[in-house]
Amino acid sequence: MIPIQTESAWRGTSDCRNCGIREMVLFADLNEQDFNLIHAPIDDLVYQPGQALYEASDQALGVFTLRKGMVKLVRVTADGRERVVRVLFAGDVVGLEALATRRYDSQAVALSEVSLCRIPLDVVHQLGANSPRLHRKLMEKWQSALKLADDWLAELNFGTARQRVLHFIRKMHEVSEDGTATLFGRDDMGAMMDLKLETVSREVTALVRAGVMVPLDKHGRHYKVLLPDLLQET
C-alpha cells in the first residue's frame, strides 16, 4: 500500500449537477432546491493503484462516490491476515458506514486509477435531513452495500479453489461492458478468496489453457472471456 496525502490527490471541486454518473450515485433524486443546500465544496480526487483513500478506524471526513476505477475494502483478521471483503466499482459509494460512526471500518485502496468525489459528512447529513428522497436513497445504498458484502464473501470463500476463481472471474466479467474480465494482483485475489497466491495463479493459468479466456496484456490483468458459460460451473 502506498501512503498518500489527500492534498496530492485533489483535482478541484466537482459539479454534481452535471456529473456523468449522477444517476448512479447519491444525487440522482436531488432537485435544484436540494442542490442549493450544498455549501461545502465536494472534492474531485484521483488516486493511483495501491494508494489508500483511508485507513480502518480513521476519523471520517466524508463519503466517496466512485466515478471510475476499482477500490478494494480490506480488513485485518484476528490472526493478522488481510482479507479483501469487497471490491467497489463505478457508481458505488465508499465509506457509507461513516454516516453512523464517523469512522471507517475498513481500509480502502485503489486497485486501478480511480476518480472519486468526496462529499463532506456534514453535507450528506444536511441533505438527508432536508431531502426525504436522499435519506431514502442513503438507506437503500447502505442496505445494498451490506447485502453485496455478504454475498461477495459467501460466493468467494466457499467451494474448491477452481469454483472460487470461477466465481470471481464471473463477477469481473459481469461488470464489464466489452466481454472482458479485469483481474488484479494474485495476492489481492488470494486475499479475497482465502487462497494462496500460487493456487490462484495455477487456476487462472488452467482456465487460459482450457480456452475459457485469453490474456490481453503481458501482466495478466486483462482477459477476453471466450466461453462465458463455463464461468457458471459449480
Tens-level pLDDT at each residue, the chain (234 residues): 333 344 444 444 445 555 543 444 556 556 666 666 665 567 889 999 899 999 999 999 888 989 889 999 999 888 888 888 888 988 888 998 888 889 999 999 998 899 998 888 887 777 777 777 767 777 777 777 778 777 877 788 888 999 999 999 998 998 887 889 988 889 889 988 989 999 999 999 999 999 999 999 988 889 999 988 888 765
Q: What is the pTM of this model?
A: 0.77
The last residue of one of the domains, among 122, 150, 178, is 150
Cα first-last separation, the chain: 34
How far, in Å, CA of 207 to CA of 48, rounded? 29
Do the domain assignments include residue 1? no
The full DSSP string for 96-118 is TTHHHHSB-SSEEEESS-EEEEE
Judgement on whether residues 98 and 179 belong to the same structural domain of the protein:
no
Range of the domain at 115: 6-150
Asked if 84 and 134 count as a contact pair (C-beta separation under 8 A), the reply is no
Final residue belonging to a domain, choices 88, 119, 150 = 150
Q: How many folded domains does the chain comprise?
A: 2
Residues in Cβ contact with 87 at an 8 Å cutoff, skipping those fewer than 6 apart: 70, 71, 72, 73, 111, 152, 171, 192
Claim to verify: residue 175 and residue 145 sit in the same structural domain: no
Domain's final residue, options 131, 150, 169: 150
- For residue 21, the domain's CATH number is 2.60.120.10
